[in-house]
């Protein structure tokens, strides 16, 4: 149904928010890596630090710009695509977004200017402080937007007056039941995304120029972060899943492909959920696995989709996006621990592992997107779980308008994504070739720093 | 309790107005510089972008604050306005996306891509300016359709682009030197003429697209009280022209004057519009009181805004002071 305005509006918003999340999931953690590098440089560290900082601050600036422009688009699309959401839930969603703008956006945007271009103009400590404030800003932004997102998943602290939601208890709104888990899960996901990007790009540099010291060091930084965070993420993910089981059992039923309530539910490794006949085709499973993971008992009871009438999410996309996320996670765990093992034993990453890291440079993106699809499609058919359905909030903008703008966004975002990945690779290779900072480009027309931005 | 007496909807209406005004002026000069980009040589383009590089991001945040307040404080108008302006908003967003990323890509890409991103920088800046003008016109006319209204939207779109070019060129007069500054002076003279014509045309056309505005301006004795506004605007335009010509003749005094007067032109135009539209958010349909969010929500944000906004203003001033004086080429300080 290509002419269904609701589906088009969801596709458009989904496209935009999916494109957007790619960049914050890099910058939230990369900001802290830059703080670390900047502090070490300030303390008179080794020569490689300055090289590494120079490359990664460029990557940060580029990623940040892409995050900003797609974020602005999002702030408008709440109104253009979901006017009903703001009408009904604006009293709660509005202030949370308002605090994000006030406490995070201005802070990070203003001090980013100082951080990027103010190095000659402010004292060293002030420059370090600017990097720190940018990192605070990106993390604060994540705090508020995840508070809102979590509230949409597990709404608390509100009352309904004349069909509109009113905040009764702001503390309960912000610290709703799924918020701590989601915030932790996302912050660690950002750490992993940045870690694999750093490791991957550094591996690429080492393939071009073996023994390139800044890349050797940064590869190590990436692997250490990934190897430490990966098991923590698995633990947090498990807790997050238990939390979801408690508050959004329909989402868990879709994730596990459980059509009928059962005890000792199997863990499906592979299956094609069949929505028409409400069963799984071609299932390969571990007996009692799902019950064990989710209830920590072999014959624990799990609610099936049959308990929710037609108020449950579509099973296929939720089921598969979850498996993609876990699958990528397993690969990330294996590679980062293998790398860590070599670092501990041989103090060096063997050259034949480098293509693996390079191939996994953007693996964090895949996991983040898959996880996000699981969470948000898993929330359907509601926009605020159990309270407001998505269909109620759609706009009456004609379908052709939505289709036209959807195609425009798609073209622009595709162009930007390709440009981003190409430019990132070029920046890294240029740096490895040793002319990342010299005036070699077009007829020396660029003043020294134009390279910067 | 003082808190109980606060007229929160009115406070947020004023705050939203100020945020939009701040955006129009601050990102106005950024967009203006972008609009002027094709008129310069490659070297000059780098310097032009360098003059706005440290600021554009924070400047654009005022737009988010403006639409954020619309969303936070007036959720019942937010959806109506943004879905009525659906295509204009989409055009502006795509233009702002291209302009924003072009800052990065125009120096980080290689080969012919650099030139392509330079073009997109210009296209994005011009497109955003025109789209914003069309959005403004849509709000003034209450989103009515028809050939006449389309013409009015285009007029305001081009007029706003001219105004941004004025802000951009007078900004460059302050921030640049030598040949580029000389060019900026020339652009400024052209832009101020265009802006003055645009403001006049829009001011004359507005009462005809909307009867209520006619009534508000041309009834006696209101007309008398309001007369200073157009007169001040005309005086500011004349002042810009005179000071630009004096600077061109070699005077080095008060370089900042054309920019400051351009800001005043925007403030006056804004005041006129605010007077025309108040108290409506959606003309003749929704007032700001009808659209206001629940009191407890407004209070929650108000408390935060009282604490945070002064801090934001303080570090914004700090950032402009850090980059005070003539622009230097952008460098990460290596």
Residue A236: is its pLDDT beyond 80? yes
How many Å apart are CA A276 and CA A294, to the nearest integer? 26
Residue A436: is its pLDDT beyond 70? no
Is B68's CB within 8 Å of A95's CB?
Answer: no
Which span out of A6-20, A131-145, B107-121 was modeled with the highest average pLDDT?
A: A131-145
Q: What pLDDT does residue A453 have?
A: 35
Residue A162: is its pLDDT beyond 70? yes
Q: What pLDDT does residue A265 have?
A: 85
Cα dihedral across residues B238, B242, B248, B253: positive or negative: negative
Cα angle A187, B60, A53 (rounded to 5 degrees) comes to 50
Backbone angles phi, psi at A282, to 5 degrees: 50, 40
Residue A452: is its pLDDT beyond 70? no
Give how far Cα A276 sits from Cα of A259, A281, B154, B165, Å. Answer: 12, 11, 51, 59
Residue A175: is its pLDDT beyond 90? yes
Cα angle A132, A110, B66 (rounded to 5 degrees) comes to 130
CB of B196 within 8 A of CB of B230?
Answer: no
Q: What is the pLDDT of residues B235-273, one digit of tens each?
A: 999 999 999 999 888 877 788 999 999 999 999 999 988
Q: Is B224 on the interface with A (CB under 8 A)?
A: no
Which whole number is the average pLDDT over A146-171? Answer: 90
| pLDDT bracket for residue A449 (50, 70, 90) | very low
How many Å apart are CA A204 and CA A429, to the nearest integer? 8
- Which of A79, A97, A401, A409 would best serve as a mutation to test chain B binding (most B beta carbons within 10 A)? A79
Cα dihedral across residues A190, A20, B125, B256: positive or negative: negative
Which whole number is the average pLDDT over A394-409? Answer: 85
Residue B201: is its pLDDT beyond 80? yes
Residues whose CB falls within 8 Å of the CB of residue A154, separated by 6 or more in sequence, listed in order: A176, A177, A178, A179, A247, A248, A385
Interface of B with A in 53-82 (CB under 8 A): 53-55, 57-58, 60-61, 63-65, 67-73, 75-76, 78-82
| Percentage of chain B lying above the pLDDT 90 cut | 35
Backbone angles phi, psi at A160, to 5 degrees: -105, 120
Q: What is the pLDDT of residues A248-290, one digit of tens each?
A: 888 888 888 888 888 888 888 888 888 777 787 887 888 888 8
Q: Is B42 on the interface with A (CB under 8 A)?
A: yes
Q: What is the pLDDT of residues B271-322, one digit of tens each?
A: 988 888 888 888 878 888 888 888 888 888 899 888 999 998 988 888 888 8
Identify which of A68, A79, A116 has the shortest CB distance to residue B71.
A79
Residue B92: is its pLDDT beyond 90? yes
Cα angle A140, A145, A148 (rounded to 5 degrees) comes to 130
| pLDDT bracket for residue B145 (50, 70, 90) | confident
Q: Can you list the positions of beta strands (E) in A149-259? A: 158-161, 164-167
- Which is nearest to B162 in space by CA: B139, B140, B144, B189? B189
Q: Is B308 on the interface with A (CB under 8 A)?
A: yes
CB of A166 within 8 A of CB of A158?
Answer: yes
Residue A322: is its pLDDT beyond 80? yes
Residue B105: is its pLDDT beyond 50? yes
Q: Is B35 on the interface with A (CB under 8 A)?
A: no
Is B83's CB within 8 Å of A83's CB?
Answer: yes
Q: What is the DSSP string of A338-399?
A: HHHHHHHHHSS--GGGHHHHHHTTTHHHHHHHHHHHHHHHTTTTEEETTTEEHHHH-----H
Q: What pLDDT does residue B210 have?
A: 76
Least confident of A95-99, B143-147, B149-153, B310-314: B143-147
3-state secondary structure B171-205: HHHHHCCHHHHHHHHHHHHHHHHHHHHHHHHHHHH
Identify which of B46, B53, B105 has the shortest CB distance to residue A423.
B105
pTM of the model: 0.89
Q: To the nearest whole angstrom, how far is the Cα of B193 from the nearest Cα of chain A? A: 32
How many Å apart are CA B275 and CA B212, to the nearest integer? 11
Which whole number is the average pLDDT over A72-89? Answer: 83
Q: What pLDDT does residue B330 have?
A: 67
Interface of A with B in 49-68 (CB under 8 A): 50, 54, 57-58, 61-62, 64-66, 68
ipTM for the complex? 0.86
Q: Which residues of A83-122 are buried (b: 16+ CB within 10 A; e: fewer)?
A: bbbbbbbbbbbbbbbbbbbbbbbbbbbbbbbbbbbbbebb
What is the helix (H) or strand (E) element at residue A141, kind and residue range?
helix A124-153
Q: What pLDDT does residue B332 have?
A: 62
Kindly give the residue spans of alpha helices, DSSP state H, lying in chain B. Answer: 2-5, 8-36, 42-52, 56-73, 75-84, 86-108, 112-140, 147-175, 178-209, 211-218, 222-226, 228-248, 257-277, 288-291, 295-322
Is A164's CB within 8 Å of B294's CB?
Answer: yes
Residue B121: is its pLDDT beyond 80? yes
| pLDDT bracket for residue A451 (50, 70, 90) | very low
Q: What is the pLDDT of residues A92-111, one digit of tens each?
A: 888 898 889 889 988 998 89
- Which is nearest to B173 in space by CA: B295, B261, B257, B266? B257
**CB contacts, 8 Å: B100 with chain A:** 65, 68-69
Q: What pLDDT does residue B331 have?
A: 63
Q: Which residue has the higher pLDDT, B132 or A80?
A: B132
Is B109's CB within 8 Å of A419's CB?
Answer: yes
| pLDDT bracket for residue A338 (50, 70, 90) | very high
CB of A265 within 8 A of CB of A293?
Answer: no
Between chain A and chain B, the number of residue pairs with CB atoms below 8 A apart is 267
CB of A330 within 8 A of CB of A375?
Answer: no
| Percentage of chain B lying above the pLDDT 70 cut | 97
Give me A170's structure tokens. Answer: 């702001």
Q: Is B145 on the interface with A (CB under 8 A)?
A: no
Q: To the nearest whole angstrom, how far is the Cα of B196 from the nearest Cα of chain A? A: 31
């Amino acid at each position: 149904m290509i002419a269904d305005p609701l589906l088009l509006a969801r596709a458009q918003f989904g496209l935009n928010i999916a494109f957007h999340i790619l960049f914050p999931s890099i910058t939230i953690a990369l900001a802290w890596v830059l703080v670390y590098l900047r502090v070490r440089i300030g303390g008179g560290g080794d020569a490689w630090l300055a090289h590494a900082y120079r490359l990664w601050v460029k990557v940060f600036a580029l990623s940040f710009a892409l995050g900003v422009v797609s974020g602005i688009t999002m702030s408008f699309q709440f109104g253009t695509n979901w006017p009903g959401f703001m009408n009904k839930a604006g009293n709660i969603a509005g202030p949370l977004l308002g605090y994000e703008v006030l406490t995070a956006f201005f802070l990070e945007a203003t001090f980013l200017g100082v951080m990027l271009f103010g190095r000659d103009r402010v004292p060293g400590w002030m420059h370090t402080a600017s990097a720190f404030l940018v990192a605070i800003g990106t993390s604060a932004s994540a705090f508020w937007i995840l508070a809102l997102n979590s509230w949409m998943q597990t709404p608390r602290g509100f009352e309904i007056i004349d069909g509109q939601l009113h905040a009764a208890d702001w503390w309960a709104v912000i610290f709703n039941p799924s918020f701590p888990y989601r915030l932790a899960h996302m912050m660690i996901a950002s750490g992993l995304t940045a870690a694999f990007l750093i490791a991957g790009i550094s591996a690429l540099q080492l393939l071009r120029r073996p023994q390139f010291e800044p890349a050797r060091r940064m590869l190590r930084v990436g692997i250490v972060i990934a190897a430490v965070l990966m098991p923590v993420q698995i633990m947090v993910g498990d807790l997050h899943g238990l939390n979801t089981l408690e508050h959004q059992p329909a989402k868990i039923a879709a994730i596990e492909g459980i059509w009928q309530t059962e005890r000792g539910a199997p863990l499906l490794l592979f299956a094609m959920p069949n929505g028409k006949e409400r069963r799984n085709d071609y299932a390969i499973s571990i007996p009692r696995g799902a019950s064990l993971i989710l209830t920590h008992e072999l014959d624990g009871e799990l609610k099936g989709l049959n308990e929710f009438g037609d108020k449950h999410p579509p099973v296929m996309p939720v089921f598969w996006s979850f498996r993609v996320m876990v699958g990528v996670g397993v690969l990330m765990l294996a590679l980062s621990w293998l790398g860590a093992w070599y670092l501990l034993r041989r103090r060096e990453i063997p050259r034949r592992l480098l293509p693996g890291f390079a191939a996994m440079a953007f693996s964090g993106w895949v996991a983040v997107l898959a996880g996000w699809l699981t969470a948000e499609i898993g929330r359907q058919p509601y926009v605020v779980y159990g309270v407001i359905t998505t269909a109620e909030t759609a706009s009456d903008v004609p379908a052709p308008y939505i289709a036209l703008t959807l195609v425009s966004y798609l073209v622009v975002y595709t162009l930007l994504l390709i440009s981003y990945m190409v430019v990132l690779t070029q920046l890294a290779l240029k740096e490895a070739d040793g002319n990342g900072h010299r005036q070699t480009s077009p007829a020396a027309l660029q003043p020294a720093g134009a390279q910067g931005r | 309790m003082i808190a109980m007496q606060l007229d929160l909807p009115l406070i947020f209406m004023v705050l939203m107005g100020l945020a939009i005004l701040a955006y129009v002026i601050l990102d106005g000069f950024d967009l203006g510089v972008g609009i002027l980009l094709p008129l310069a040589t490659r070297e000059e383009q780098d310097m032009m972008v360098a003059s706005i590089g440290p600021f554009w991001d924070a400047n654009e945040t005022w737009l988010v604050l403006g639409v954020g307040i619309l969303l936070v404080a007036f959720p019942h108008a937010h959806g109506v306005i943004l879905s009525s302006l659906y295509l204009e908003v989409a055009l502006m967003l795509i233009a702002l996306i291209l302009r924003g990323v072009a800052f990065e890509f125009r120096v980080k890409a290689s080969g012919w891509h650099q030139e392509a991103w330079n073009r997109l920088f210009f296209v994005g800046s011009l497109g955003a300016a025109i789209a914003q003008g069309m959005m403004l016109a849509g709000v003034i006319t209450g989103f009515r359709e028809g050939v006449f209204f389309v013409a009015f939207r285009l007029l305001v779109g081009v007029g706003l682009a001219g105004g941004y070019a004025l802000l951009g060129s007078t900004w460059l007069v302050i921030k640049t030197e030598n040949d580029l500054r000389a060019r900026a002076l020339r652009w400024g003279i052209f832009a101020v003429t265009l802006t003055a014509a645009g403001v006049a045309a829009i001011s004359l056309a507005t009462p005809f697209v909307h009867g209520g505005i006619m009534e508000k301006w041309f009834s006696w004795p209101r007309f008398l009280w309001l007369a200073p506004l157009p007169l001040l605007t005309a005086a500011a335009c004349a002042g810009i022209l005179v000071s630009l010509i004096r600077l061109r003749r070699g005077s080095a005094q008060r370089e900042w004057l054309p920019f400051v007067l351009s800001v005043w032109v925007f403030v006056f135009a804004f005041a006129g519009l605010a007077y025309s539209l108040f108290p409506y958010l959606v003309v003749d349909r929704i007032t700001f009181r009808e659209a206001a969010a629940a009191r407890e929500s407004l209070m929650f944000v108000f408390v935060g805004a009282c604490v945070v906004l002064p801090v934001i203003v303080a570090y914004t001033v700090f950032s402009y002071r850090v980059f005070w004086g003539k622009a230097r080429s952008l460098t990460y300080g290596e």
